[in-house]
């Protein structure tokens, strides 16, 4: 199993100038295009017009490079934690923005990594810590505010509720092959999340 356990700040030499960003951008595009399993350091070096020696001086393994690239990808930033004053508004804000469920890049990266995440425990741990966890923290704050405003009824399983929207988006995208859209996000929020938050079923 590939060792990418060192997830904190690393002390390997950085690539000079903007070359590091170019390499990371190329890696993200290749993960989305080829998937993790078919990605090679040779392919990244060719796409980024860099030598393999340059890559290995900065990243000792493919997994290390991919995790670094995915966690810093320009096309899927962590959504801003914007307080709109309502659970509905907050969920729309973080779901239908760059880096949200309706953005192409985050879902393409998920598709490219999906099979490898199930087989590579170290890659999965790194992905969870550097990509998933920051997004979960934003969602947790959204639901904490909703509880504070009284939008979520007593007895509602808030942790389970907070996982419902991403679970359904992943189900639609990867199981049903249906691209998440703003309309789909709104349907889930209005017909599933909000009724559940009130402790009632959708009509």
Domain map (residue ranges) of the chain? 19-71, 87-197
The domain made up of 19-71 has a fold known as Arc Repressor Mutant, subunit A (1.10.10)
pTM for this predicted structure: 0.77
Does position 13 have pLDDT exceeding 60, yes or no? Answer: no
Task: Note whether 102 and 181 are within 8 A (CB).
Answer: yes
Task: Note whether 68 and 126 are within 8 A (CB).
Answer: no
Cα distances (Å, whole numbers) of residue 185 to 48, 72, 147:
35, 25, 21
Report pLDDT digits (tens) over 62-106.
888 998 888 887 767 888 888 999 999 999 999 998 878 888 777
The CATH code for residues 87-197 is: 1.10.357.10
Task: Return mean pLDDT, the chain.
Answer: 86
14 pLDDT band, cuts 50/70/90, is low
The tokens describing 154, both together, are 């007593």
The tokens describing 79, both together, are 């959504």
Task: Note whether 167 and 136 are within 8 A (CB).
Answer: no
The tokens describing 102, both together, are 């309706």
Cα distances (Å, whole numbers) of residue 169 to 3, 21, 72, 84, 132:
30, 29, 22, 22, 15
């Amino acid at each position: 199993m590939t060792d990418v356990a060192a997830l904190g700040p690393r002390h390997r030499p950085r690539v000079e100038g903007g070359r590091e960003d170019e390499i990371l951008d190329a890696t993200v595009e290749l993960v989305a295009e080829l998937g993790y399993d078919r990605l090679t350091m040779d392919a990244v070096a060719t796409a980024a017009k860099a030598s393999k020696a340059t890559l290995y001086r900065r990243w000792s393994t493919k997994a290390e490079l991919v995790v670094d690239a995915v966690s810093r990808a320009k096309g899927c930033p962590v959504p801003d934690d914007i307080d709109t004053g309502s659970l509905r508004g907050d969920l729309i804000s973080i779901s239908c923005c760059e880096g949200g469920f309706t953005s192409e890049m985050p879902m393409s990266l998920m598709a490219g990594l999906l099979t490898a995440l199930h087989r590579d425990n170290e890659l999965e741990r790194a992905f969870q810590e550097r990509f998933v966890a920051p997004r979960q923290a934003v969602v947790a704050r959204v639901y904490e505010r909703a509880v504070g405003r009284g939008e979520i009824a007593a007895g509602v399983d808030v942790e389970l509720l907070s996982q419902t929207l991403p679970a359904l988006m992943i189900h639609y995208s990867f199981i049903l092959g249906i691209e998440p859209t703003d309309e789909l996000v709104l349907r889930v929020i209005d017909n599933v999340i909000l009724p559940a938050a009130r402790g009632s079923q959708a009509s």
